[in-house]
Amino acid sequence: MENKTKQQTLSTPQSQNVFLFVPNVIGYTRVILAILSLYYMPFSPWKCMGLYTISCLLDAVDGNAARYFDQCSKFGAVLDMVTDRSTTTCLLCYLSSVYPLWTIVFQLLISLDLSSHYMHMYSSLTAGASSHKKISKSSNRMLRAYYSDNRILFAVCAFNELFFVALYLLSFEDDPTFPEWSIFPLYLLAFGSSPICAIKQVINIIQLVGASQNLAKADVEDRNKAFKNS
């Protein structure tokens, strides 16, 4: 009887180890692959991009795994966002070193990416939303489409990363070991993905402004409540 009770207790949701959820294990794998890509980044572009690309593609897998295994978690959502921001930031840091004339642009892109996502997530949690991807109907139409349709979300994020990846690979253009046949396709990839990258930055700005307005609105409501209770 005691063993049966123990088994029932172990099988309850409260006893599950969130850190070992399948989507979170995929998240750890993404982190490991990203770290390995950073090791190869200065001297082995194709190995670096192979590992980096797999890490990014797994981003589309962990969400599906979370829904399939019914293992959605707040920790997993934050892990996913932190991994995304960290990998992109590391790549942009490297680009700022190989394209020194554009350093300030990459620095601003890093700042915009981090600040907009942090403020958006904080604003969502403050408003009591279960996920930062749940956007209210009153939000900006572009932001709503970005978060409500996984196909749009994936396409925008993928082409945004492809633009930076193309810039990274083109930094090896003068390397005699770099295959010449790949240079023209990489330029095409860079030019073709640049408009989507620009759209992603616009979405980041909209996200930052919207989150700031929501937080300011919450501040006003809190101050009004405090004034009424005083």
Q: Which residues of 71-93 are buried (b: 16+ CB within 10 A; e: fewer)?
A: beeeebbebbbebbebbbbbbbe
DSSP element (H, E) containing 36: helix 22-40
Torsion sign over Cα 22, 25, 29, 34: positive
Give the C-alpha separation, 109 to 119, whole Å: 15
Torsion sign over Cα 76, 203, 45, 99: negative
Annotated catalytic residues are 84
Residue 30 near residue 55 (C-beta atoms within 8 A): yes
